[in-house]
Amino acid sequence: MKRNSFIIALLILLLCSKERANAQYYFYDNDYYDTKVVYELGGSIAAMNCLTDVGGNKGIGKPFVKDLNYGNTKFAGSAYFSATYKYAVGLRLEYTFGQVGAYDSILKDVQSTTQGRYQRNLSFRTNISEFAIIAEFHPLYMFVDWSSKNTPPPSLSPYLLAGIGFYHFNPQALLGDQWVDLQPLHTEGEGWVPGRPNYSLNQTNIPVGLGLRYEVNSMLNVRAELIVRLLHTDYLDDVSTRYISPALFAQNGLRGNQLTDALLLNSRNLNLDPKYISHPGGIRGDPNNNDSYFTFNLKVGLVMGRGKVN
């Protein structure tokens, strides 16, 4: 009886040891090992900027970073919670907040090259509030089985990321000493002119990017990330296509201060250069490319879920 009990106890111990060995596919150090799923709670500070029809860089509008004006960069931040499976694939929920803005007046020193963008004299700002679900893909862990090697896994891991975001924005322009909401003014006839539907201030986006994660110790890691948000709108800055007739504002029901604001903010070139006059049908923006915004993040994460070695 005692012998049978010993054999049963030994089998149970071996099974437990095998199960634990399966869980310990990677020892982090002499005190902790990673379970299959590790959790992380963290936050970041970030630099936020945008690419829209307003502002830009020297010359006419150019694709992507060639038209980026780094002087418009602003601070942003985020908080996130993630779960990572075997350090190879992760999924996280992240809230990001910040502000973007741009100004044609930033082109003053290169105005002769901008073909009217400086003289257009438009500007905007908008706060950004975003919730995103983002997947991470770590190739050094997806394609290498570190549990079968005698060397420890790398502490530094590059990764790709993609997901879906839900964000709120509200473009404004400075008129005198007041910031005025632009969407209710229909500055380009959105909702009035055929083919120009009114745009929503709550939309989805597609965040894509790349990052680098470094394991500081068993409880902490740091990351650097660049995330670009691909938008489904060209109205992040309230500028997209062509000027409309000023008569449309009153014809479609704007009255009082709203009418005055719309007339003043639809075309602002007279404030800068009376010789540069816009006209209905003239180019106000480029509808061929949607806007985008992006962040460069420095993240700090608290790691949870590692097992303690007895």
pLDDT digits (tens, 9 = 90+) for 187-242: 999 999 999 999 999 999 999 999 999 989 888 999 999 999 999 999 999 999 99
Q: Assess whether pLDDT exceeds 50 at residue 287.
A: yes
- Give the integer Cα–Cα distance in Å for 121 and 104: 5
Compute the average pLDDT of residues 62-84. 86
Q: Tokens in use for 203?
A: 């939309």
154 phi and psi angles, rounded to 5 deg: -70, 145
Give residue-wise pLDDT tens across range 140-165: 988 877 666 666 678 899 999 999 99
CB of 306 closer than 8 Å to CB of 221? no
Q: Which residues sit opposite 309 in a β-bridge?
A: none
Q: Residue 110 has what pLDDT?
A: 86
CATH architecture of 26-308: Beta Barrel (2.40)
Name the amino acid, one letter, at 282: G
Query: 90: helix, coil or strand?
Result: strand
Beta-bridge partner residues of 294 = 49, 228
Please state whether beta strands 202-217 and 156-168 pair in parallel, antiparallel, or not at all (unpaired). antiparallel
What number of other Cβ atoms are within 10 A of residue 240's Cβ?
24
Higher pLDDT, 72 or 21: 72
pLDDT at residue 18 greater than cutoff 50: no
What is the model's pLDDT at position 19? 40
For the chain, give the mean pLDDT: 86
Q: How many CB atoms lie within 10 A of CB 297?
A: 23
DSSP secondary structure code for residue 259 in this structure: H
For the residues 252-259, what does the mean pLDDT come to?
96
Q: What is the domain partition of the chain in residue ranges?
A: 26-308
Neighbours of 18 (CB within 10 A): 10
Residue 152: per-residue pLDDT: 67
Nearest to 296 by CA among 235, 229, 251: 229
